A and B are shown apart, each in its own frame.
Chain A
Amino acid sequence: MSGPARLVTQGLRASVEGKEILKGIDIEVAQGEIHALMGPNGSGKSTLAFTVMGHPKYEVTGGAMSFDDQDLLGLRADDRAKLGLFLCFQYPTAIPGVTTVNFLRAALRAQGKEMPAREFMKRLSDEMAALRIDESFRSRYINDGFSGGEKKRSEILQLAMLRPRLAILDETDSGLDVDALRTVAEGVMRIAGPDIGVLVITHYPRILEYLRPHVVHVMHDGRVVMSGGPDLARRIEREGYEPILGTAVPEPARV
C-alpha cells in the first residue's frame, strides 16, 4: 500500500427518489485525519454518509468516489465495509432476535476479523466498560428498546470492535447529554490514530472540542461551501451559519 488510504469524492452528485440532494461534493479524508462536516439541517450531510456507504435508496447521478484507490461505485455496502468503511448511524435500526454479541460476531466473521471466543469476550468486556455500557447489553437484541444514548454507545462499541480504516459518524452527538457526549467522544478518541480516518458529521461544535478535527468543512444545499482549520468550527459557534454562508438559512425540508 502506498501511503494512507483515502476516501475521495469528486463532483459527487446523488439523488433520493428522483430528488437531487448532493450537487457536486469534493472531499478527501485520509487515514490518520479527523474531518468535521458541519452545516445546517437539510444541507445533505447524512445523504453524503449514506451515499458513501452504498444505501440502495441513494442513487449516484454523477462524479466519482473511491477509497484506497478503489472505485466505490458499483460496490455493495458489504464490500465497502470489507474495504474498511464504517458508518455510525444517527438512527440505527433495531433487529429483534439478533443479540449484540451475535451481530458483532457475524460482522467480524464477514470481515475476516474473527477471533477466538475468549479473546472476543475479553475485548467486548473491555470496550463495554470503557463506554459504560451495561453487561446485559451483550445478550439484548441489538438496538431493540435501546434509548437514544444507548444506541449511540452501541454504535461506538461496534466501531471499537470492528476497527475500520475510515469511520463516518453521522450526528453521533445528537440527543446526548453532556456526560454521554463525553463518554462517546472519548470512545472515538481512543480509537483515533494513524490507522483510522474519521469524518464527523455534526450541527454542533461541542463534540469537536473533544475530537479536535484537523479540517472543518461546511456544507450547504448539497455542496461543500467552505473548508478550513479548527478555527472555522469556533467561528460557527460564535456567529452561526448565516454570516459564513452569506445567506439566510431556510428552514429545510427533512431528508
Chain B
Amino acid sequence: MTSVAGGPVAVELGPDEAAARVAASPPWLAARRRAAWDAYTALPMPSSQRDEDWRRTDISGLHLERFTPLRDVDAGLLAAMRLQRDQAAPGAAFALDAPAADLVITDADGLLAQGVIVTTLQDAASRHTELVQRALAAHTVDESKFSALWNAMWRGGVFVYVPSGVDAVAPVWIAHAASGDGAAVFPATVIVLDDAASLTVIDAYASPRGSQPLFSDAIAALTAGRDSRLDYIALQQWGEGAWHVATHRASLGANAKLRFFGATFGARLQKAYWEASLDGTGAEADIAGVCFGDGEQHLDHQSLQAHRAPETRSNLLLKVAVRDQARSVYSGLIEVAPAAVHADGYVQNRNLLLSHGAKADSVPRLEIRANDVKCGHGATAGHIDDEQRFYFMTRGVPREDADSLIVRGFMDDVIARVPHVGVANLLGTLLDSEIAGEPQSGVTEVEG
C-alpha cells in the first residue's frame, strides 16, 4: 500500500489533537477552534431519549475514543475515486480533501484562469479569510456535538470560490477519502458563489469496501450569491463499517438557484442533514435524492427547506429502497418565516420496501408563519406491487428481473433530476448494481 499526504501523528480525538489544530491555524480560526473544542467537551452525545433529531437513530454504539484521525489516504482508493471522476465528469477539476495541508488539486487550470479559487480550506483560511469566515458563519461551533467536533478537528478541506459573473468552465469533483481501521475524518467542503456566478460541484465520500470501523463527521457549507446557480451533488459511498454524520447546508441569495442531489449508498449508520436556507427574494432550491440500503444499514436523512424571503420556491423528493434488515429514517421540515410571502414549497419522501425485515419511517412537516403561501408534503411506503410484477411476468419476464425493472423504474424520475448527465449515468450504474444485489458501500480500490 502506498500513501500520499502524510501528516503529523496524533493518537486520538483528544485535547492534544485539538491543540495541534489550533497551533496550525491563523488566529481567527485558532479562536474558533478553541471555542469549538470547549463546546464539544461540554455537550453531551446526542441521545435517542433526549434529542428529537436522534429519536429514531441510535448512536449509543458509537465510541469516539476508539477512533484516531486519518493520517494517509490509500493510493488505490484515491485511484478509484479519480476513475469515477474520469468516467462521470472527465473535464472536472479534482480536489482531494487530504488530512495534511498539501495542495492536492489537479486539472483546475481552466478554472484558475477564470479567476476561480480552488484550494484547500486550510489555505483559504489564511489567504481568503473574509470569504471563509462568511461561509462558516452559518455553522456556529456550538450548534451540536458533531458540529463542535468538526470545527475543532477538520484539516485540509476544500474551498472553492467563483467570482461575480463567472460561469465556471468545469465542475469541481471533491474526493473525501478515508481508509484504515478506526480512522476518523472531518470532511470539509466550503463553496462560495459570488453574484451571478455558476458552478457544478460533485462532493464524493468513499472508503474501500469492507467493514472496518470509520467515523466521518462532515460539513459542506454552500453559499450562493444573488442570481447565482449552484449544482451540488453529494455521493456517499462509505464502507459498511462507517458512521457518518454530515450537514450539507446551503444559503441562497436573491434569485439564486440551487439544484441539490444527494445519493446515499454506504455506511452502517448515517445521519445526514440536507438544508437550504432561502434567504433572498426569489431564491429557488430543487433538492432530490436517492438512497439504497441493504444488510443492517441505518440511513437517516433530515431535511430543512427554510423560506426566509418572499417569492421563494423549494421542492424536495427523496426516494428510498431498503432491503434485508436495512432501515431508512426520514424527517423533513418546510419552515416559512413571516417575511416569506408567496413561498412555494413541497416535500415528499417515497419508500420501497424490498424485504419484510426492511423498514422506513417518514415524517415530513410544515411550519408556516406567513400568509398566502403554497406548501405541501407527501410520504409513502410500500412493497413491490403484485400487479406490476404479474404484468411483467405475463410478458415472459421472470419475477426477479421484473422486480429489478420495477425498482429501477421507481428511481427513474429522481435520477432524471441529477443536475449533471455524466453523474446521472454513474448513479444509474450504482443503482443497477445495488438492485442486482451488489451493495455499493465502499468502492473497489484500483491499482494507482
**Which chain A residues lie closer than 8 Å to B406 at the CB level?**
95, 97-98
For A44-68 the 0/1 string (1 means CB < 8 A from B) is: 0000000001111100000000000
**Interface range on chain B (Cβ under 8 Å from partner):** 20 to 34
Q: Point out the residue from B385, B387, B399 that lies within 8 Å of A76, measured CB to CB.
A: B399
* CB closest residue in chain A, given B391: A93
Tell me whether chain B's interface is mostly helix, strand or loop, or mixed.
Answer: helix
The answer to whether B388 touches A78 (Cβ under 8 A) is no
The answer to whether B391 touches A106 (Cβ under 8 A) is no
Q: Is B393 an interface residue (CB 8 A)?
A: yes
Q: Is B411 an interface residue (CB 8 A)?
A: yes
**Which chain B residues lie closer than 8 Å to A81 at the CB level?**
393-396
* CB closest residue in chain B, given A162: B395
For A108-139 the 0/1 string (1 means CB < 8 A from B) is: 00110000000000000000000000000000
The answer to whether B397 touches A97 (Cβ under 8 A) is no
**Which chain B residues lie closer than 8 Å to A80 at the CB level?**
394
**Which chain B residues lie closer than 8 Å to A76 at the CB level?**
393, 398-399
The answer to whether A78 touches B399 (Cβ under 8 A) is yes
**A37 nearest CB across to chain B (Å):** 18
Q: Known contacts A102-B405, A106-B405; is A158 also within 8 Å of B410 by CB?
A: no
Q: Is B412 an interface residue (CB 8 A)?
A: yes
**Which chain A residues lie closer than 8 Å to B409 at the CB level?**
95-98, 141
**A174 nearest CB across to chain B (Å):** 18
The answer to whether A110 touches B405 (Cβ under 8 A) is no
Stretch of A22-30, A84-92, A198-206, A213-221 contacting B (4+ beta carbons < 8 Å) = A84-92
The answer to whether A110 touches B397 (Cβ under 8 A) is yes
**A162 nearest CB across to chain B (Å):** 7
**A210 nearest CB across to chain B (Å):** 24
Q: Known contacts A97-B409, A141-B409; is A89 also within 8 Å of B393 by CB?
A: no
Q: Is B130 an interface residue (CB 8 A)?
A: no
Query: Which of A77, A93, A96, A162 gathers most chain B CB within 10 Å?
Result: A77
Query: Which of A95, A102, A103 gathers most chain B CB within 10 Å?
Result: A95
The answer to whether B395 touches A110 (Cβ under 8 A) is yes
**Which chain A residues lie closer than 8 Å to B402 at the CB level?**
78
* CB closest residue in chain A, given B408: A97
* CB closest residue in chain A, given B385: A93
Q: Is B390 an interface residue (CB 8 A)?
A: yes
- Could you tell me the distance between the alpha carbons of A55 and B395 in the complex, rounded to whole angstroms? 13
The answer to whether A78 touches B405 (Cβ under 8 A) is no
- Could you tell me the distance between the alpha carbons of A98 and B409 in the complex, rounded to whole angstroms? 5
**A201 nearest CB across to chain B (Å):** 15
**Which chain A residues lie closer than 8 Å to B393 at the CB level?**
54, 76-78, 81
Q: 14 extra interchain contacts, Cβ-Cβ under 8 A, other than A98-B406, A103-B395?
A: A55-B390, A56-B390, A76-B399, A78-B392, A81-B395, A89-B394, A95-B406, A96-B413, A97-B409, A97-B412, A102-B405, A107-B392, A110-B398, A162-B396
A-B pairs with beta carbons under 8 Å apart, 24 shown:
A76-B398, A76-B399, A77-B390, A77-B393, A78-B392, A78-B395, A81-B394, A82-B396, A86-B394, A89-B391, A92-B391, A93-B385, A93-B391, A96-B409, A97-B406, A97-B408, A97-B409, A98-B405, A98-B408, A98-B409, A98-B412, A106-B397, A106-B405, A162-B396
Q: Which residues of chain A have a CB within 8 Å of any CB of chain B?
A: 53-57, 76-78, 80-82, 86-87, 89, 92-93, 95-98, 102-103, 106-107, 110-111, 141, 158, 162
